[in-house]
Amino acid sequence: MKKALADESARCNELQMALDSKDSDIEMLGNQLQEAQLNPTNVENRLQGWLSIPNKSNIKRDGYWKRQFVTVSKKKIIFYDLEQDKNASNPSMVLDVDKLFHVRPVTQADAIRAKPEDIPSTFQVLYASEGESRRDLTKVSNLVTDTDATAAELKSKGHEFVNIMYHLPTNCEVCPKPLWHMFKPPPAIECQRCRTKCHREHLEQGHITPCRVNFDINSAKDLLIKAQTPEDQKMWVTTLTKNLPSR
Ligand SMILES: [Zn+2]
Ligand SMILES: [Zn+2]
């Protein structure tokens, strides 16, 4: 009985995702039609292309990134393992656009396990976890955060700090002393939510103002997405940001 129920719920999830994928196709065709009628010479395609997301299953075997074909409609961001899966309406993941909190370029602190040379082409999508559907339901509990378990959480006044060393010019938001050094950087922390940066000693001294980001991080998930080039990253961030719900 339990198993039948689980099967049924997996089937429902699959059908819903297929529906999302079809919906998005219909919207695109509608847009193209409208566009073609208004402006026959300029039929613009909807935002879509190849991106990479972190590989969760076996990083050693498969590498850090996994390629995905991604399409964006007004309501959904849809990920496919293969371009053929798009024609088969078989997405691997669907995110609701109206559950997105932000889309922004990443810093070193957001992607501590990614290679430094990948940072300029990578961006972060933060969304409410209920806005996510996945084909493989068993993976739902597997959070998509890139937080290193050893970078034990430094939580204070709503911030979620990580330890970090700045080798390039960076200012402390609490005191005027340099926060960086090319060879021997001082211990520093950066909040993954609001990006406050300061010397670690200020945390111990309690000289930190509360975090400015006010959504509930515990119900949020973040997904790192790598574009093919830094220019590509800018295009995705700009376009997705335009589609964000206003809040
Ligand atoms: Zn913060
Ligand atoms: Zn300082």
User: Could you tell me if 41 and 66 lie in one domain?
Assistant: yes
User: Could you tell me if 63 and 130 lie in one domain?
Assistant: yes
User: Could you tell me if 106 and 40 lie in one domain?
Assistant: yes
Per-residue pLDDT, 9: 86
186 CA distance to ligand 2 middle (Å): 10
* Ligand approaching nearest to the C-alpha of 170: 2
User: Could you tell me if 125 and 166 lie in one domain?
Assistant: no
157 CA distance to ligand 2 middle (Å): 17
* Ligand approaching nearest to the C-alpha of 158: 1
**Residue 3 CB burial class (10 angstroms; 0-12, 13-18, ≥19):** exposed
CA distance 242 to 42: 21
49 CA distance to ligand 1 middle (Å): 32
Residue 149 forms part of a structural domain = no
Q: How many alpha carbons fall within 13 Å on the CB side of residue 65?
A: 19
Q: What is the CATH number of the domain that holds 119?
A: 2.30.29.30
* Ligand approaching nearest to the C-alpha of 190: 1
User: Could you tell me if 71 and 127 lie in one domain?
Assistant: yes
* Ligand approaching nearest to the C-alpha of 186: 2
Residue 144 forms part of a structural domain = no
pLDDT means over runs of 10, the chain (247 residues): 83 88 85 69 64 81 86 91 89 91 88 86 90 68 41 75 90 95 93 90 89 71 93 94 78
User: Could you tell me if 44 and 127 lie in one domain?
Assistant: yes
* Ligand approaching nearest to the C-alpha of 166: 2
Residue 146 forms part of a structural domain = no
Residues 66/72/76/81 CA torsion (nearest 10 deg)? -30
222 CA distance to ligand 2 middle (Å): 28
Per-residue pLDDT, 157: 84
User: Could you tell me if 192 and 235 lie in one domain?
Assistant: no
Per-residue pLDDT, 150: 42
User: Could you tell me if 127 and 6 lie in one domain?
Assistant: yes
User: Could you tell me if 179 and 233 lie in one domain?
Assistant: no
Residue 110 forms part of a structural domain = yes
**Distances from the Cα of 131 to the Cαs of 67, 68, 101, 193, in angstroms?**
21, 19, 11, 19
Q: How many structural domains does the chain have?
A: 2
Per-residue pLDDT, 181: 94
CA distance 150 to 146: 12
Q: Are 229 and 172 in contact (CB under 8 A)?
A: no
Residue 145 forms part of a structural domain = no
Contacts of residue 213, defined as CB under 8 A and 6 or more positions apart, other chains included, come to: 158, 193, 194
Range of the domain at 103: 2-137+216-243
User: Could you tell me if 9 and 93 lie in one domain?
Assistant: yes
Per-residue pLDDT, 216: 65
Residue 170 forms part of a structural domain = yes
Residue 152 forms part of a structural domain = no
Q: Are 171 and 179 in contact (CB under 8 A)?
A: yes
Per-residue pLDDT, 63: 79
Q: Which residue has the tokens 């078989």?
A: 90
88 CA distance to ligand 2 middle (Å): 54
Contacts of residue 205, defined as CB under 8 A and 6 or more positions apart, other chains included, come to: none
Q: What is the CATH number of the domain that holds 181?
A: 3.30.60.20
User: Could you tell me if 9 and 131 lie in one domain?
Assistant: yes
User: Could you tell me if 66 and 164 lie in one domain?
Assistant: no
Residue 154 forms part of a structural domain = no
CA distance 86 to 45: 15
164 CA distance to ligand 2 middle (Å): 13
